[in-house]
Structures are given as C-alpha cells and as structure tokens.
C-alpha cells in the first residue's frame, strides 16, 4: 500500500515537471570543436530554442573521438530533456561503424527528435590543375592508378566517404589523405601536396571566385539552387551522393511531452526567416523531418555507408 501511495505521489509530480518543461537552462551538446559548421548550426538553433523555451540554452562543445565522446555523454545523461545533442553523420553513422571504442547504439541509446538539414561537399582542384571535370579526374585516375591523392576533413568524414564511394563506383585507384579538419586539407591542396579535395560548398565557392581553386562538382543528389551551373558528381558517376546532415536528439526514453516540445520549437526555429537565410547561406538544404521518418533516414544512411566503410577497411582502422 505504501508503494502504491508513493507511486501515486510521484506520477503527478513527473507529469507536472514535464508540463512545466523547461524550468531551467537546457544544455545543447555539440560533439565538435567551436567554429565549425556544426557549431554555427547549434548556435543559431540554440538562440531560437532559448526564445521559445524562455530559458537559457547553453551550447557546450564536447569534441573528441570523432564526435563520439560528446554523443556518448548525452546517451548516458538523464532522460529529462535538460541535455540535448546536435547529431551528425560522424557521430551517428561513421563512428559506430568504424570504431570498436564507441559505447552507444546510435538508434537504441538516443531519442532522435528532428533532422535540421543536409549539405554536400564540393570536389575541388587547384585553379592551375589540368583536371576540369569529374570525367577528366576519373580518366586521369584510370591512367595513373595510385597517383591522385585527395584530402578530406578526416577519416570517416562525409568527404572521405564520398571519395571512397567515387573510387568504388568509378573503379579507380585514388588515395585518401586524412586531415584534422577542412582547413589543413585545403591548405595542402593549395600548396600542391594533394591533387583534389572535398571541401565545404561555401568556402569552395568563395575560393573559386578568388581564382584559387576550380570547382568540379558537388556531392548532392541534385544541383544546388544557388549554383545551378555546378554539376553533381552523380551526373558523371552514378550513385556517388554523399551529404553531411545535422539533427537534434536526446537520451533514450525522453518523455513524449518533452519530445513534442523540443520538436515543436526546433521546427519553429527552422521556419524563422533569419535562421533559414543563414543556414541556406552555408549551402544547407533545410530538411525538417521528425520522429519515425528521421529514424528511418538514419537507418537508411547506415545501410548505405556500411559497405563503403568495409570496402575502405575503415572498420579495421584503415585511413
């Protein structure tokens, strides 16, 4: 009887706590260093969530272990809505596929609330390169196996996976060079240390306008509305589509009322004209899907990249 009375006392308190959510500051964990595209997305979203919640939303950068360190912390946090996470391809797809050190299940141990959007990388070469198209790059690689080195922001990044997908689909022997971020990879491209690079669209467009590089293509499924003359890699080598994406998640077991509140405020933020303009300026396509369809998207992405990871031997520590 005492246990029943205790339960009857606790349940209304839990319901009240959820109805009043959030009653204090909310942590939004970003498993990447400050200053990158993920951080930009998080700070834009955090400001709007704070307005909607009428509570502070504190951005907490927790980089490390390929974005899995901060993700693991959120997976192990209390399921009360006060610790949320910005998710992305490396922490949800690549990390669990490539590292035996990851101690969370990307589906079971998180509540995936809403997808924010996705954006492609640009395949670029130096301005003075003889390669002027994806077809020319493929032809050169076939004639010179193992001699074309391409860079990316790191092992398992969207750029790396797209490069491996291009290697597999085109049947060419190109060599990945791993960097700790997009900036050093781009610097080595300019200095001639590598022959090609997968870089963020906005930086690539700006650098092409400055005459430093040549844009060959983007890794999106369709041409970008902002760059309609820039082809996709898929137009030349079918099936080569590789996009980064961002989402919002929390620990597994988040109460439905809290999920709905976070989801609603996230979608409202993505509808705000200033947020849309800023995100679209980065080359992002806003894709506000939520709940089960978002989880299905993640599961499809895992299925897509699993054979690529295995072929590149990334699951064995390959670079």
CATH for 103: 3.40.190.150
Residue ending a domain, among 211, 235, 259, is 235
Residue 11 placed within a domain = no
Q: Is the pLDDT of residue 239 over 80?
A: yes
Same domain, 126 and 202: yes
Q: Is there a contact between 319 and 178 (Cβ–Cβ < 8 Å)? A: yes
Mean model confidence pLDDT for the chain: 90
Question: If you count them, how many residues does the chain have?
Answer: 319
Q: Is the pLDDT of residue 72 over 50?
A: yes
Q: Which distant-in-sequence residues (6+ apart) come within 8 Å of 265 by Cβ?
A: 48, 49, 52, 53
Q: CA quadruple 204, 208, 209, 211: dihedral positive or negative?
A: positive
For 74, 174, 216, 282, the CA distances from 247, given in Å and listed in that order, are 14, 32, 28, 16
Residue that wins the pLDDT comparison between 3 and 207: 207
Domain that holds residue 139: 120-235
Environment class of residue 286 by beta-carbon count within 10 Å: exposed (0-12), middle (13-18) or buried (19+)?
Answer: middle
Q: Is the pLDDT of residue 14 over 60?
A: no
Mean per-residue pLDDT for 141-158? 92
Of 26-35, 74-83, 179-188, which has the strongest mean pLDDT? Answer: 74-83
Residue that wins the pLDDT comparison between 177 and 13: 177
Residue ending a domain, among 185, 208, 235, is 235
What's the confidence (pLDDT) of residue 28? 98
pLDDT over 90, % of the chain: 71
Same domain, 220 and 208: yes
């Amino acid at each position: 009887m005492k246990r029943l009375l205790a339960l009857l006392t606790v349940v209304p308190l839990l319901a009240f706590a959820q109805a009043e959510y959030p009653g204090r500051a909310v942590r939004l964990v970003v498993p990447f260093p400050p200053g990158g595209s993920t951080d930009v997305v998080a700070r834009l979203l955090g400001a709007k969530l704070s307005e909607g919640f009428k509570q502070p939303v504190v951005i907490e950068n927790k980089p490390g272990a390929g974005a899995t360190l901060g993700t693991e912390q959120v997976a192990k946090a209390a399921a009360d809505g006060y610790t949320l996470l910005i998710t992305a391809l490396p922490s949800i797809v690549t990390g669990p596929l490539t590292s035996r050190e990851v101690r969370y299940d990307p589906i079971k141990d998180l509540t995936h609330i809403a997808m924010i959007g996705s954006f492609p990388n640009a395949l670029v070469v130096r301005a003075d390169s003889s390669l002027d198209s994806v077809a020319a790059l493929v032809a050169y690689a076939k004639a010179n196996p193992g001699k074309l080195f391409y860079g990316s922001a790191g092992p398992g990044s969207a750029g790396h996976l797209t490069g491996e997908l291009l290697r597999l689909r085109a049947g060419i022997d190109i060599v990945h060079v791993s960097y700790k971020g997009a900036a050093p990879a781009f610097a080595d491209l300019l200095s001639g240390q590598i022959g090609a690079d997968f870089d963020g669209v906005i930086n690539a467009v700006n650098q092409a306008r400055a005459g430093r590089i040549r844009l060959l293509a983007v890794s999106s499924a369709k041409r970008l509305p902002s760059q309609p003359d820039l082809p996709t890699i898929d137009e030349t080598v079918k099936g080569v589509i590789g996009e980064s994406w961002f989402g919002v998640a929390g620990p597994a077991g988040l109460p439905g009322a809290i999920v709905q509140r976070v989801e609603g405020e996230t979608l409202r933020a993505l509808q705000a004209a200033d947020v849309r303009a800023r995100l679209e300026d980065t080359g992002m396509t806003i894709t506000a899907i939520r709940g089960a369809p978002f989880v299905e998207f993640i599961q499809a992405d895992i299925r897509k990249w699993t054979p690529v990871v295995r072929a590149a031997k990334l699951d064995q520590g390959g670079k």
